[in-house]
Amino acid sequence: MQRQKSKFKVNSKECGFTLVEVLVVVVIIGLLGGLGGGVYIGTYKKLLVEKAARDFFLTAKYARIMAIEKQRQYKIVLDTANNGFHLATTELDEEGGQTEQMIVRDSFCKPVKFNDATQFVNIQITPIGFEAATKEDEDEQSIVFSANGTAQTALIQIGDGKTHYTITISAATGKTKVYDGIVEDVDVGVIDLDAES
């Protein structure tokens, strides 16, 4: 039996890819990966600022609720020197009979420390009794929530130089709101207590 020769000839020069073609594909994949990585890093940094603003918002809501429920003052202490904040209250020491300030640490509230890029950009807190803040108070300021549901008026801007969120706290109601943007873009206006729900 004789073998029949195939009618199709394979040209060995036309199979496969050249080194230049492979390198071009590798460079294109590298560029696309680099662009995707840049987008990912920008999104991640934005999420860190958003998380910091959300943590502050939730701590303020919790402070208001606890002040009303426990019928004593709670305050958010802004520690700008260490780039963070915590919730504090005063409790009676039954053994000594004295009150002492305690940092609130429970399943709903813990001290928060920002990442390196995120920080307090603008802090505007109306002092109680309108007294002026001293130099010692600049590194550690606080927002007090009273037992009747009121609080100090505050505008807090948190950002990383590119992304900013502003948190407002109303004096009359102690309620907190978060806005995307800087303090100058937020219109606080006058609060109508009858319209508040």
Q: Read off the pTM.
A: 0.73
| CA–CA dist 45, 65 (Å, integer) | 31
| Whether the Cβ atoms of residue 136 and residue 128 lie closer than 8 Å to each other | no
The CATH code belonging to domain 18-85+111-185 is 3.55.40.10
Among residues 65, 59, 67, 74, which one has the least CA distance to residue 156?
A: 59
The confidence band for 196, taking pLDDT boundaries of 50, 70 and 90, is low
| CA–CA dist 87, 130 (Å, integer) | 22
Highest mean pLDDT among 18-22, 84-88, 185-189: 84-88
Share of the chain above pLDDT 70, in %: 79
Among residues 165, 140, 169, 155, which one has the least CA distance to residue 64?
A: 169
| Whether the Cβ atoms of residue 169 and residue 152 lie closer than 8 Å to each other | yes
Please report the pLDDT score of residue 18 as a whole number: 87
Residue indicated by tokens 């919730």: 87
- Per-residue pLDDT of 83-128, as tens digits, reads 899 999 988 777 777 778 889 998 888 999 998 889 999 999 987 6
CA-only gyration radius of the chain, Å: 29
Q: Looking at the DSSP assignment, which residues form a beta bridge with residue 164?
A: 159
